[in-house]
Structure formats: C-alpha cells, structure tokens
Amino acid sequence: MSDTAAVRRTRAHLHDGREIVYYDDSPPYVDGTATRNLHDSRPPLSPERAGQMRFDPLSGSWVTIAAHRMDRAFMPSADECPLCPTGRGTVPSEIPADDYDVVVFENKSPSFSTRVDGVPGNVTLVDDEPLWPSLPAVGRCEVLCFTSDHDSTFADLTVARARTVVEAWVDRTRELAAVEGVQQVFCFENRGAEIGVTLTHPHGQIYGYPWVTPRTRRILTLAEEHRERTGGNLLRDVLEAELRSGQRVVVSGRYWAAYVPAAARWPVEVHLAPLRDVPDLPALDGAERDELAEIYLDLLRRLDRFHPSPDGGSVRLPYIAGWHQAPVSTGRDLARLHLQITSVLRAPGKLKYLAGSETGMGAWVNDATPEQIAARLREVG
C-alpha cells in the first residue's frame, strides 16, 4: 500500500451539525459506484457546547470540567447501541448508514469542543481568585468505530480493516492538529468494563487537547535533560536499550518492536514503537503503516491470551491503548511516536487498584516483574 491506502473518505453531518467521516475499504463503496444513506433523519438539535478548564496550582495542570458528560449513554442494550448502523436497532443511532467499514464522528458529549460560549482564550478567575484561572475547553473530541460488528473487538479485525483504522488515525491526527487552538492529538481505546467503558461496541476515541498534556510535558522535560547530558534522544535510547537486552522484547519486525518496559508500572504493560524516529502517525510511510496493522493485531491477540480462564480458555483483557505523539508546535525534536498498552487485570477476577501509594503519592508498586510479563506474552504468541 502507499502512504494513503485504498480507502474512500466520505464526509457528512449529523442532525446537530456534528461532522461524521466514513473510511471505506470494501466494495461497492471504496470505488464510488454506490453510496450509502448518509442523511440523519433525527430532528435538528443544537450540539453540546464546550465546558471549562480550571488550573490546579498544586499540580501545574489544567483540569477540564465537563458536567454535561454525566448524561451520556451508559451501557445501552445492543438494540439501542448508538454506534451500530441505523436500522439494526430499535432507535436511530449516531451512524446514519445501512452499514460501514470504519467511521469517525464528533463526540456527542465532548470534553473539548470548538463550540464555545464566550471568547476562546479569554481567561476568567474562579471566585475572582488569581490562583484559579479558567478557560473555555476549546478543542475537539471524536469517536472512532473500528467495525459495524457490535460483538467484535479490534483484535478480531482483518489486517486489511486494521490498516484502514491506521489510515483513519493518520488522517484524524493530521486534521485535528490543524484545528485552531489544538496543541496535542491523542488517539486511544478503552476496552472492558473494568476500564470503565460506557459503550461495548468496539470503538476508540481521539482528543485534540488545547494544551500539551502533563504526561507529555514530563517526558519532554526528561528528554531535554537527557539530550543535554548525553546528546541522545531519550525515547530512541530506551528502545535501543530494550532491543540490546532482549529480555523484555515481545515481538519485532522490520519496522516496529514491542517490549515490556524495564520499569513497567502495570500488571500488564507493553510499548510498541517504530524503529525509525518519527514524531507522529502522519510521519509514518506506507510500509510502516502496513506492518503496524499486522504487528498491532498480533500484539492484541497475545494480550487476549495472557490470562488463562478456569475452563482452559483465556480471558479477554481489559486495556487502555494510547498513541503518544509529538505536540503540534513544541518539542517535536524531543518526542517520538509510541503506543502504550496497559491493563488493570493482574489475574482473572483480580484488579490492580490505584490505592494509597499510587493515588496519594504517585509512587507505584507492581506485583509482577516486567520480565515475567514479557515471557508470558512471548509464550502465548
């Protein structure tokens, strides 16, 4: 495949003006000989407005207040799923089409939005206190549906369909990075009730943040200190050290390598990184995107075999998978694209809770060694 895989992109709008984008790879839609019913028949409605952000002087970070999200859909029945194609259930869904391959749309209950009350960037003070500045939560939040199959998961996709998802990640990263006010783009998936998902249909999300997130700011600070001290790139040096050791490498290919980090915090944690230095998903070339679809599916299927079940089968692993990308306009020479997958499931039926030490002090304790985690993931390959 080329840098732009054989994917047909079709734009439309939902009943409240939110954008929806279809990414099709299968006939008769990919060649344009047929179209889908893209008209949203629901009555016109005004979309949710952006919430607000408040600055926390004790952490140096912004906290987003999005109270309207309390009313979002929570574990609806399959016949009322808002992510299935309209017509499969008893109510109109968010997808006004008979079927789809991959689709992205603006979140109905966004944490960040370009629709703001007041003036974007206008600072106000909570209780007129200068300690607590507040800003409109300007940005963008999108939902990415990996498949129209309600009972599937990402790990069940074909390589070709996973490649379409990769192309959607690339396209949405590029587009959200161009949205005024967005400083960082984060593509991620929450899977499993243990993670706190509110919809079981296989999907991920994409956030366009109006600032560089705390985790990324910390990595960039450490990377700058590392460069001043050694002249090297911290994230590249970590990858190369893991490859030299080999003890925690799970799988490697021509363009990608997956490993359990030497200081893993979670009961199951894997990082997937390109062998070439790239800042973000759009910087990947066609061959790298092709192999990513294959190696990511391999990794997810290993994760689903990580914990054996009492009946001799395996337990579907709840996880969070998130792409760490360079910010839009700062630190791009220090950042390096990589995926982090973590799970709170330390054993079947047993969760890793962020209790006193982790939540109160930010001091992590892991019940498993990284070497044990990596060995198990190699074993179930």
Q: Are residues 122 and 257 in the same domain?
A: no
pTM passes above 0.75: yes
- 36 and 174 share a domain? yes
In angstroms and rounded to an integer, the radius of gyration of the C-alpha atoms of the chain is 21
| CA neighbours closer than 13 Å in the CB half-sphere of residue 305 | 14
- How far, in Å, CA of 354 to CA of 71, rounded? 26
Query: Both 298 and 330 in a single domain?
Result: yes
Residue 24 forms part of a structural domain: yes
Q: Are residues 187 and 282 both part of a single domain?
A: no
Report yes or no on 101 lying in a domain: yes
Last residue of a domain, one of 157, 181, 211: 211
Burial readout 342-378 (b: 16 or more C-beta within 10 A, e: otherwise) = bbbbbeeeeebeeeeeeeeeeeeeeebebeebbebbe
Do 30 and 122 belong to one domain? yes
Structural domain span for residue 128: 8-211
Question: Residue 208 and residue 175: Cα distance in Å, rounded?
Answer: 10
Does some domain include residue 3? no
Q: Which of 176, 211, 246 is the last residue of a domain?
A: 211
Are 345 and 311 in a shared domain?
yes
User: Which are the catalytic amino acids?
Assistant: 203
Can you give the pLDDT at residue 315? 82
Question: What pLDDT, on a 0 to 100 scale, did the predictor assign at position 2?
Answer: 42
State which residues of the chain have pLDDT below 70: 1-5, 32-37, 70
How far lies 355's CA from each of 191, 238, 296, 348, 351, in Å? 21, 29, 31, 19, 11
What is d(CA 276, CA 284) in angstroms, rounded to the nearest whole number?
9
Residues 206 and 119 in one domain: yes
pLDDT (0 to 100) of residue 73:
72
Tally of structural domains, the chain: 2
Same domain, 224 and 168: no
Residue 113, both tokens: 């939005």
Residue 365 sits in the same domain as residue 238 = yes
Domain boundary among 211, 239, 272: 211
Q: What is the pLDDT of residue 1?
A: 37
Question: Any idea what the Cα angle at residue 253 is, between residues 259 and 300, rounded to 5°?
Answer: 55
Domain presence at residue 12: yes
> Does residue 18 share a domain with residue 137?
yes
Write the pLDDT tens digit of every residue in 270-325. 999 999 999 999 999 999 999 999 999 999 999 999 998 888 777 899 999 999 99
**Pairing state between β 102-106 and 52-56:** unpaired
Write the CATH number for 21. Answer: 3.30.428.10
**Predicted pLDDT at 35:** 54
